[in-house]
Amino acid sequence: MVLALVLPVAILWSATVGVTGSLGWGDTWRGVLAACGWGEPLNGTRQTIVELRLWRALTTAGVGGALALSGAYVQGLFRNGLAAPSILGVTSGASLGAVIAILLLAGYGPSLLLTEDLGRATYVIPLFGAVGAIGAVSIVVALGSPGGRVSVPTLLLTGIAVNTCIGGVLSLISWLVLADWDVSRSILSWTFGTLDDRTAAHALTVWGGLAIAAAAAPFVAWELDLVQTGERDARALGVATTRVRVIVVIASSLAAASAVAVAGQIAFVGLVVPHMVRLTGTTSHRRLLPASLLGGALFLVLLDTVQVLALGAAALQPGVVMSLVGGPLFLLLLLRQRQQLEEA
Amino acid sequence: MTTLTAHDVALTYRNGVDALRSVSIELHDHELVAVVGPNGAGKSTLIDVLGGVRAPDAGRVEFDGVSLVSLSAKARARSLAHVPQNLDSIPAVSVERFVFAGRYAHVSRWRGATDIDREAVVAALAAADVTHLAARQLSELSGGQRQRVLIARALAQQAPMLLVDEPTAALDPRHQLAVFELLSTLVLERGRGVLVVTHDLNLAAQFAQRIVLMDDGTIVGSGSVDEMLRLEVLEPVYGPRLHVGRVDGVPVVLPWRSLEDSHE
C-alpha cells in the first residue's frame, strides 16, 4: 500500500530532474497537468522538457515494474529464487529481434527499411524486440513441453539451451559486422539498455503489457503458494497445475518482453526486487506479486533519478547502472540470507 | 454410501516400468483399507491414480460412478483428500495457514474465505489434535507433529475419502500408534473411507478392516486381516523369512531369521 502511494511521487520527482538541469516541483506538476490536457502549458522548451522527462520516468517505472513482476512469477513457478525472466528466452529473443532490426535499418538484407526515416528506429527496434522475445519463448515452451505436458525442469533446461543457441547466433552476427563501426556500436549500446528518447508510445507499450500480466495475478497467486510444496501435492489440493503454468509463462514473458522491447537489456531487476520483497517477510504470492510490481517500478525510477542527479550530463544508461549496482546488491542479499540460514 | 472404484487401471512409467497392470479395487466410506506389499509393488502409484493426481494409461477411476477425468480439479479435491508421505519443500508458513490450504477447493476466488472455511480449519486442527500447534511454523515441528498436520490439512478438505501414503514411515512406535488411532477414529466416528498405504503389517492388522496385498504392479490378494496375514499368503510375496504369531488374538508378522539361517 505504501509503495502504491510513494510511486507517483517518485515518478514526479524523477520528472523534475534531468541532464539539462532541474525544474521546480510546481513547474513540473503544471507541465504534467498540461501534458494530460489540463491547464496551460509551460513556456517554450520547458513544456517539452517536462513531457520528455515524464515519458522517460513513466517508461522507467513500467520497465522496472514489468521486470520485477515477471521475476516474481518465474521464481514462483520454478520454485527457485534464482530464476529470472531471461530463463524463458525473453531477453535473448528480444536481443536477436533488436539486432536484426538494427541490421535491417543499416541496410543489410532487403533494403526495405533503408528508405525509411531512420528516426523510426526508436519504434522499429522495440517492435522487432517484442517479436523476438515472443518467438523465443514460444520455441522454449514448444520444445519444453513434449506432448502438451509442461514439465518445469524440462522447461528450465530448454530455456538454457535456447538461450545458448541464440547467444551463439548473436556472437556470430556481432563478429560478422565487427568492421561496420556504426552497426556494432548500435548493437552494443542496445545491450546496455536505454531509456533515452522514450515517448508516450513506449510508456503505453510497457504499461499495456504490464497491465495484462498483472491482471493474471488473481488467477495464479494462491496457486503459486500451493505449488511450493510440489506439483503433485498442489494437484491433490485441487490446483489445475497445467493451467497455472500456462498462465504464468504467458504473463511473465509478456511483462518481460514489453519491458525488454522498449528499454533493451536491464539485468537483475527481475532477480533482485522479488528477493528484496521477500526479505520483508512477504512469502504469499497474493502480496509478493503486487509488491514486486510496485517495488520494481519504484526501484528503477529512484535508481535512474539518483544517478542522473549525481552524474548530471555524464549520466549512464540504466542497464549499465543496474549491472553495476545489481550484482553487488544481489551478492549482499545472498550473503545475508546465508547468515540467516546458518543461524537457523 | 460413497464408493471409490478403480477398474482395470494400468500405468507404465516412461522408463518402461509397469507400475500398475490391470488393478481393480474398491473403497467405501466407514472402512479402513490397508494396502501392503514390498517396495516397488506400485502402492504409491495406486494412491496417485486413485486420487486423480495421475491419469492411468488404461482403465478408469470412478467416484460414486462419476469418472475422475470428468471432474474439475477442485471438484475432485472436494471428494478425495490426499495425505502425502512428505512434501517437496516445507513452506515458511504457520500450521494454521498450511492447514487452510486444504480449503483451496472450497474457497471462491472472488469472495474469499468465509466463516464456514474458518470453522472447517478449526475443526480439522482439533480432530488431528494439533490445535495447540496452530501458531507454530511448519518447519519447527517434529516428524510426528508434521504428520498430524498433514492429516489436518486433508481433513480441512472435508472430503469423504482419504488416501494416506506411508504415514508412519519416519515415526517412533508411540507416534505410529497415535497416527493409526487418529485414522481409525476418522473411520469409526466420522464415517470417512480411508485407504492407507503402509509397510507396517502389524499396524494394519490392528486397525484395518481389509488388507490389500500388492506385488509387482498387481493385487495378489485382498481380504480380512485373518485371511491375509498368513504365511501361505505372505511368503510368495515377501519371501520365506517371516514369522506369524498372535498377540491378543491379532496376527503379528515379524521378519524372522530362523536358526538354520544363522548357522549357514
* A231 — pLDDT class (breaks 50, 70, 90): confident
What domains does chain A contain, in order, with CATH numbers? 2-343 (1.10.3470.10)
A91, A323 Cβ separation under 8 angstroms:
no
Tell if the CB–CB gap between B101 and A237 is shorter than 8 Å.
yes
Q: What is the pLDDT of residue A185?
A: 81
Question: Beta strand pairing status for B161-165 and B193-197?
Answer: parallel
Q: What is the pLDDT of residue A200?
A: 81
Residues 6+ apart with CB under 8 A from A170: A92, A95, A96, A99
Rounded CA separation B47/A233 (Å): 12
Rounded CA separation A290/A217 (Å): 8
Rounded CA separation A172/A169 (Å): 5
A81 at B interface, C-beta within 8 A: no
**Burial readout A165-180 (b: 16 or more C-beta within 10 A, e: otherwise):** ebeeebeebeeebeee
- Joined together, the cell numbers standing for residue B240 give 520365506
**Helices assigned H by DSSP within chain B:** 43-50, 73-79, 95-100, 115-127, 143-156, 173-190, 201-207, 225-228, 231-238, 259-263
Q: What is the pLDDT of residues A35-63, one digit of tens each?
A: 776 777 777 677 777 777 888 888 889 99
Rounded CA separation A75/A54 (Å): 31
CA angle B169, B173, B178 (to 5 degrees): 85
In one-letter notation, the amino acid at residue A84 is A
B85 burial via Cβ count (<10 Å: 0-12, 13-18, 19+): middle
Q: Which among B74, B82, B104, B109 is the top mutation candidate for probing chain A, defined by the most A β-carbons within 10 Å of its own β-carbon?
A: B104
Tell if the CB–CB gap between B84 and A283 is shorter than 8 Å.
no
Q: By CA distance, what is A231's nearest residue in B?
A: B88
Tell if the CB–CB gap between A219 and B93 is shorter than 8 Å.
no
Distance to chain B for A94, nearest Cα, Å: 34
Q: What is the gyration radius of the CA atoms in chain B, in angstroms?
A: 19
Using an 8 Å CB-CB cutoff, list chain B residues near A75: none
Q: Which of B256, B255, B236, B252 is nearest to B244 (CA)?
A: B252
* A115 — pLDDT class (breaks 50, 70, 90): very low
A235 at B interface, C-beta within 8 A: yes
Tell if the CB–CB gap between B101 and A79 is shorter than 8 Å.
no
Helix (H, G, I), strand (E, B) or coil at B104: coil
Please tell me which of the candidates A222, A230, A283 has its beta carbon nearest to residue B104: A222
Q: How far is CA A40 from the centre of its chain?
A: 34
> N- to C-terminal Cα distance for chain B?
55
A89, A239 Cβ separation under 8 angstroms:
no
* A113 — pLDDT class (breaks 50, 70, 90): very low
Distance to chain A for B225, nearest Cα, Å: 30
Q: By CA distance, what is B74's nearest residue in A?
A: A238
Rounded CA separation A231/A163 (Å): 26
Q: ipTM score here?
A: 0.90
Q: What is the pLDDT of residue A210?
A: 94
Q: What is the pLDDT of residue A148?
A: 58
Tell if the CB–CB gap between A237 and B157 is shorter than 8 Å.
yes
Residues 6+ apart with CB under 8 A from A158: A140, A143, A144
Using an 8 Å CB-CB cutoff, list chain A residues near B112: none
* A24 — pLDDT class (breaks 50, 70, 90): confident
Q: What is the pLDDT of residue A140?
A: 87
DSSP-derived secondary structure for A35-66: HTT-SPPPSTHHHHHHHHHHHHHHHHHHHHHH
Distance to chain B for A292, nearest Cα, Å: 19
B19 burial via Cβ count (<10 Å: 0-12, 13-18, 19+): buried
CA angle A50, A55, A58 (to 5 degrees): 120
A239 at B interface, C-beta within 8 A: yes
Q: By CA distance, what is A237's nearest residue in B?
A: B77
Distance to chain A for B157, nearest Cα, Å: 8
B73 at A interface, C-beta within 8 A: yes
Q: What is the pLDDT of residues A184-218, one digit of tens each?
A: 887 887 777 777 777 788 888 889 989 999 999 99
Rounded CA separation A29/A8 (Å): 11
Size of interface A-B (CB pairs under 8 A): 62
Tell if the CB–CB gap between B109 and A79 is shorter than 8 Å.
no
The mean pLDDT of A243-261, rounded to a whole number, is: 88
Rounded CA separation B174/B92 (Å): 28
Rounded CA separation A152/A145 (Å): 9
Q: What is the pLDDT of residues A214-230, one digit of tens each?
A: 999 999 999 999 999 98
Extract the residue ranges of chain B whose pLDDT is less than 50. none
A118 at B interface, C-beta within 8 A: no
Torsion of CA B174, B178, B184, B188, to 10 degrees: 120
B84 at A interface, C-beta within 8 A: yes
Using an 8 Å CB-CB cutoff, list chain B residues near A236: 51, 53, 77, 81-82, 84
Q: Which among B49, B53, B121 is the top mutation candidate for probing chain A, defined by the most A β-carbons within 10 Å of its own β-carbon?
A: B53
Using an 8 Å CB-CB cutoff, list chain B residues near A79: 88-89
* A114 — pLDDT class (breaks 50, 70, 90): very low
Interface of B with A in 109-138 (CB under 8 A): 109
Residue A314 has pLDDT above 70, yes or no: no
What is this structure's pTM?
A: 0.87
Q: What is the pLDDT of residue A112?
A: 47
Q: Which of A36, A78, A67 is nearest to A54 (CA)?
A: A36
Please name the residue that has the C-alpha cell 508510445: A201
Residues 6+ apart with CB under 8 A from A1: none
Q: Which among B88, B90, B99, B110 is the top mutation candidate for probing chain A, defined by the most A β-carbons within 10 Å of its own β-carbon?
A: B88
Rounded CA separation A252/A67 (Å): 8
Rounded CA separation A228/A185 (Å): 44
What percent of chain A lies above the pLDDT cut of 90? 19
Using an 8 Å CB-CB cutoff, list chain A residues near B88: 79, 228-230, 233
B76 at A interface, C-beta within 8 A: yes
Rounded CA separation A294/A273 (Å): 10
A232 at B interface, C-beta within 8 A: yes
